[in-house]
């Protein structure tokens, strides 16, 4: 009686050890790719970290400049009212260019960035405003050791009629706009404050 030969279930089976080597190679490759990506991210973070820190510091300094402008303008306005030079805010609002205080206009001050506002007020950048109603224009406030003022730190301050767009006119209140600047030219960082001012009723 002949013995029947059993045919194998798989022809030319791949040894298990070779399959494990293929999987191991893929895992090693994925780990290397992951490590390379992590390395690149770390390089980018370390190279940009100092730039980010510098930008945050400049932004804080610009905010400090705007706050300094508010403090000086508030003191100046108080003196003007106490001395009788001003009786209201009428005649002291920024009115130029046309539409600066009108929300529907292209020149509305809130539609313009700080640099655009400064260029309208002082186009040649010499610190002398081309408009008469500006309280302070590119005013430096930090003194150097020799007593001179550092031109890198400045503020610009002006008043806006907050009823110009509509509503009941009231010359006893105004919006005080303070723009703080750090740096010069294209490297300038700015910050803006808007504070509502209102005169107290007498009596």
Domain ranges, residue 185: 58-198
How large is the greatest C-alpha to C-alpha distance in the chain, in angstroms? Answer: 133
CB count, 10 Å around CB of 105?
15
Here the tokens at position 156 are 């610009």
Residue 87 lies in a domain: yes
SS3 (DSSP) at 163 = coil
Query: Is the pLDDT confidence value at 202 over 80?
Result: no
**pLDDT on residue 112:** 92
Residue 168 lies in a domain: yes
Residue 203 lies in a domain: no
Q: Is the distance from CB of 87 to CB of 80 less than 8 angstroms?
A: no
Residue 165 lies in a domain: yes
Residue 28 lies in a domain: no
In angstroms, the CA 32 to CA 30 distance is: 5
Residue 113 lies in a domain: yes
Query: Is the pLDDT confidence value at 165 over 80?
Result: no
Query: Is the pLDDT confidence value at 143 over 70?
Result: yes
Number of domains observed in the structure of the chain: 1
pLDDT bin (cut points 50, 70, 90) of residue 162 is confident
Residue 4 main-chain phi, psi, to 5 deg: -75, 135
DSSP-assigned states of every residue in 66-104:
HHHHHHHHHHHHHHHHHTTS-SSSTT-B---STTTT-TT
Residue 166 lies in a domain: yes
In angstroms, the CA 89 to CA 199 distance is: 9
Torsion over CA of 72, 75, 76 and 78, rounded to 10 degrees? Answer: 160
Q: Is the distance from CB of 42 to CB of 168 less than 8 angstroms?
A: no
pLDDT bin (cut points 50, 70, 90) of residue 41 is confident
Per the prediction, the chain carries an average pLDDT of 83
Residue 6 lies in a domain: no
Could you read off the pLDDT of 113-131 as tens digits, one per residue? 999 999 999 988 888 888 8
Query: Is the pLDDT confidence value at 43 over 90?
Result: no
pTM value is 0.73
């Amino acid at each position: 009686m002949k013995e029947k030969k059993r045919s194998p279930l798989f022809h030319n089976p791949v040894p298990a050890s070779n399959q494990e080597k293929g999987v191991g190679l893929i895992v090693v490759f994925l780990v290397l790719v992951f490590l390379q990506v992590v390395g690149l991210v770390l390089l980018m973070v370390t190279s940009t970290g100092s730039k980010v820190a510098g930008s945050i510091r400049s932004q804080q300094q610009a905010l400090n400049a705007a706050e300094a402008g508010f403090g000086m303008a508030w003191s100046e306005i108080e003196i003007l009212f106490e001395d009788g030079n001003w009786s209201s805010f009428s005649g002291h609002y920024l009115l130029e260019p046309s539409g600066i205080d009108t929300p529907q206009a292209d020149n509305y001050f809130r539609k313009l960035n700080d640099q655009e506002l400064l260029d309208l007020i002082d186009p040649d950048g010499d610190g002398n405003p081309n408009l008469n109603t500006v309280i302070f224009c590119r005013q430096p406030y930090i003194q150097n050791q020799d007593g001179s003022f550092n031109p890198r730190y400045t503020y610009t301050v002006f008043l806006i009629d907050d009823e110009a767009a509509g509503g009941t006119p009231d010359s006893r209140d105004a919006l005080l706009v303070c723009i703080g600047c750090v740096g010069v030219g294209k490297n300038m960082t700015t910050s803006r404050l808007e504070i509502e001012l209102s005169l107290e009723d007498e009596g």
